[in-house]
Amino acid sequence: MILYSHHPSTNAGQLSGMAFGGTALPTKVPTPTFSTRLSYDGIQRPVTSTATRSGTTFWSQTRTYNNVGNVINLNTTVPTTTNGTKTDSQSFCYDDLNRLVWSGNTGTPTGDNHCGLAPNGTTVGAYQQSYSYDALNRLTNGPSGSET
């Protein structure tokens, strides 16, 4: 079995896809089991990623950035065991020091004007999380609760 067979790149030299799996004689190009594709924006940040099997996209992800390069929206579609899909639409907020202060896939983002759009269309488990920092930029409140 060939585990990895091809890796095209963009004009800027960034990876634009990969093909995985498949079988073939050592002298032939294998038919991949699935492949991935990546695309980038004008300043070379990844914006979309997809995974395809037999011509059908089974996983995809789209990112939106703010003007300083933080991811503010992340939309992911994943397969289910019943041949359906689930969608996770996440938003992120940052403070003036570019520290993550809120993340979630439900509710209203809180973080002044450094936030993505309100999450919409999530079909996976809901979450909201706030983060806070002390004067030395150490995380003091996060997913596991308060830290000292």
The 46-53 sheet, strands edge to edge: 4-6, 17-20, 34-40, 46-53, 56-65, 71-79, 85-94, 100-104, 128-130
2 falls in which pLDDT band (50, 70, 90)? very low
Question: Taking residues 120-125, what's their average pLDDT?
Answer: 83
Digit-coded pLDDT (tens) for 32-80:
678 888 999 999 999 999 998 888 888 999 999 999 999 999 999 988 8
Does the structure show a pLDDT above 70 at 1? no
Domain spans of the chain, in order of start? 66-146
